[in-house]
Amino acid sequence: PDHFLVSTLDEVKVRDLGIESSIYRVPAWTPDGTSITVASGLDSSGVVLYTTDIRADQLDSVQPIASLRPFSTFLWSPRGDHLAVGRAADVITYQGSSFIVYDSLAFVPQDEEAESWSINDNILAYFWSPDGGRLAYITLSDTPGTLRWKIVDLNSRDTWRLVDFVPSREQLTMFEFFDQYYYSHSLWSPDSAFLVFSGNIRGEAASASVGAHPGHTDPH
């Protein structure tokens, strides 16, 4: 449950951040690499989200951000201007995998004088676009057994449906642990214009199949 910061610039230095937590999956680095956001809490009584400046030597540089439920998630935008915070609400089973459902997604600005805002939906996973202007998220669709991509624009705060689909087994695993895979597997194109994912499409989208399957009945 302990958090250690290991510096390897000149010589190995280990710093105990003084924060304990065992009810979240991965910390969130700010894009400039100067700060790290972690959740503090050891049980279901409550979680506090903290950001600490790794350049500071004193632990009083640790700043509380928000109180959360256990197993909530948080990802900084590529621009570093907003922290997306998914507030865990429930757990569901989809195709044999357990998913935490987030009933709201809050956008917390880095500027302390700016106001936070949020969207309410049953969210299973979310991904920032590389330009930081939009965020794509997965939710349940109106058709049983089908998931839906939705997009939220940070400037207009508008949200719209993109496409419904049934994910492949591998894609589903990535969604299940999206906050960890987010740092190594980008689903957005570098210009923030396209999303790429694997599964069966239920709507309008360009696709490429492994083989020629009439009707696109197999994963592609």
* pLDDT reported for residue 62: 56
* pLDDT reported for residue 59: 46
For the entire predicted model, the pTM comes to 0.83
Contacts with 155 (C-beta within 8 Å, 6 or more apart), sequence order: 133
Give dist(CA 81, CA 99) in Å, integer. 28
* pLDDT reported for residue 42: 58
> What DSSP letter does each residue of 26-93 carry, written as one string?
--EE-TTSSEEEEEEBSSTT-EEEEEEETT-SSGGG-EEEEEE-TT-EEEE-TTSSEEEEEEEEEEEE
pLDDT tens track of the chain, all 220 residues?
788 888 887 888 888 877 777 778 888 888 888 888 888 765 555 556 666 666 665 544 556 666 667 788 889 999 989 999 998 888 888 888 888 899 999 998 887 778 889 999 999 999 999 999 999 999 988 888 899 999 999 999 999 999 999 999 899 999 999 999 998 999 999 999 999 999 888 766 565 555 545 555 555 5
* pLDDT reported for residue 162: 92
